[in-house]
Amino acid sequence: MLEEPIVTLRAVSDDDEDLLYRIAADLDTWEERSPASPAPLSLAAYRARRARGELDGDADFIISVDGRAVGRCTLFHEDRLARHAEVGIALLPDERGRGYGTEGLRQAVEFGFGRRNLRRLYLWVLASNRAAIASYGKVGFVEEGRHREHCWVRGRYEDEVAMGLLRSEWRG
């Protein structure tokens, strides 16, 4: 009988620079992660942005599988009065499609609701990213709306889908 891999969230460390840089510099997934225009990102530019705190969220995690770093999950834009935050997740290309992101997101949701006392989490996803939308749905996120033809992605306009999850709907 095969054992299921153990997916955990842990704090970011200096040893994670290579993983975080690879994710940040990945031009193939740029539009899924950033509203900025795609451009090559040098390691020096990445380090400068990180030093200025431009890449930090309110709660940053490394997604680890059996002790091996495979991605990042972040809670950011936290509104302490309204008790909500945005969630972001990114995996290395070779680690997608294995359920690691779904489990990492599930743990981030549990952290947000159970530890930070948030009442709502939300995210944005390109309409064409059906795998991500299905993953988010497994965790409990529902479509709340969309910005039609909002994003310029590889030569065409694409809808951006808003998804959210209320603590009262969460099945944690």
pLDDT value at residue 143:
98
Q: What is the mean pLDDT of the chain?
A: 93
Residue 2 pLDDT exceeds 70:
no
pLDDT value at residue 1:
60
pLDDT value at residue 72:
96
Tell me the pLDDT tens digit for each residue of 41-73: 999 999 999 999 888 889 999 999 999 999 999
Report the distance separating Cα 169 and Cα 129, nearest Å.
Answer: 24
Strands (E), 66-119: 68-79, 84-91
Residue in the structure block whose two tokens are 């704090």: 11
Q: Are 158 and 126 in contact (CB under 8 A)?
A: yes
pLDDT value at residue 36:
80
Report the distance separating Cα 58 and Cα 74, nearest Å.
Answer: 7
Query: Model confidence at 29, in pLDDT bands (50, 70, 90)?
Result: confident
Residue 12 pLDDT exceeds 90:
yes
Instruction: Determine what percent of the chain is predicted with pLDDT higher than 70.
Output: 98
- 130: Cβ contacts below 8 Å, ≥ 6 apart: none
Tokens at 157, concatenated: 């306009």
pLDDT value at residue 14:
92
What average pLDDT score do residues 91-106 get? 95
Residue 142 pLDDT exceeds 90:
yes
Residue in the structure block whose two tokens are 């091996």: 68
Tokens at 158, concatenated: 């694409």
Residue type for position 129:
N
What average pLDDT score do residues 117-125 get? 97
Query: Domain 7-169 class?
Result: alpha beta
What average pLDDT score do residues 148-163 get? 94
Residue 137, φ and ψ in degrees, nearest 5: -65, -35
Query: Model confidence at 80, in pLDDT bands (50, 70, 90)?
Result: very high
Residue type for position 156:
R
pLDDT value at residue 54:
86
